[in-house]
Copies of this chain bind each other. A is one copy, B any other.
């Protein structure tokens, strides 16, 4: 299978699993589950679950367990998109080519759908099917909570909103925001594979180095797409970040400089994988995909 086939396979597998983990049949609050399913199913590249699954594979962890952990991670990613899109946050109407959750339902339902997906992520991780050893499950939960909470992704979103209020941004500030906002969940994705395999700290640290580089490359690529794409291509509003005074890498490096920096980061990320040899080729391709994608 080519890399794109592998990525699509993971997208299908994540969808099938999330469909089973979020049944509408018998739901206590059907409208809420509908909204959660609307935002979690059928869309998205599923890049984070793919990274988690590949990291699990090269470290020798069971694939079905990695897929469950990936589905939990995707719940957190989708919750963050729902809440980030709210009128009080980035106020976006379009996401993945469809109305955002609060547009399709309403704001209250969208807030609750985000809350529900975040909560469900920990429910999924805590179940014995994720790993027979509860200590491993607890480690995954600790990692996901840290990387998605106030010292991770949520903290990054707070800093990003605060940055909008300032006129200019230096490199250290932009890096700090993005390392939390985007980097932390990439870090969890890549580290979780090593956690599932019970691998030592060195493997976990190496995977986080790889993740740190591709996380930044991903965000730079996002900033480039925001400038260069149309809403039709991207499935969401474009050209918003500069207008909103957001701290972007284009401001820092310029468009050509940003492209060069992203390529450098991908190379450094790939080098971090050298101890794994050819086994890590999918992760190397994922790094390239991150800066070559068109959405």
| Partner-B contacts on A (CB < 8 A) | 27-29, 31-33, 36, 79, 83, 86, 88-89, 106-109, 111-112, 114-116, 118-120, 122-123, 125-128, 133-135, 137-139, 141-142, 144-146, 148-152, 154-159, 161-162, 176, 180
Contacts and interface: CB of A to CB of B under 8 A. Distances in A.
A48 to B, nearest CB: 17
Q: Is the interface of A mostly helix, strand, loop or mixed?
A: helix
Contacts of A126: 138-139, 141-142, 145
Given A86-B111, A89-B108, 10 more contacts: A28-B151, A28-B156, A28-B159, A29-B159, A86-B108, A109-B161, A115-B118, A123-B141, A127-B142, A134-B137
6 contacts: A28-B156, A32-B150, A89-B108, A89-B111, A116-B150, A126-B139
Contacts of A114: 115
Nearest to A159: B29
Contacts of A115: 79, 83, 114-115, 118, 149, 154
Integer count of this chain's copies in the complex: 2
Could you say which of A36, A144, A154 has the most chain B C-beta atoms within 10 Å of its C-beta? A154
A89 B106 CA distance: 10
A126 to B, nearest CB: 4
A88 B116 contact: no
B116 A154 contact: yes
Contacts of A176: 28
Contacts of A180: 28-29
Contacts of A122: 122, 141, 144-145
A29 to B, nearest CB: 4
A149 B121 CA distance: 10
B154 A112 contact: yes
Given A88-B107, A112-B158, A134-B137, A33 B123 contact: no
Contacts of A155: 27-29, 32, 116
A47 B152 CA distance: 30
Given A108-B88, A134-B138, A137-B134, A32 B158 contact: yes
A106 to B, nearest CB: 7
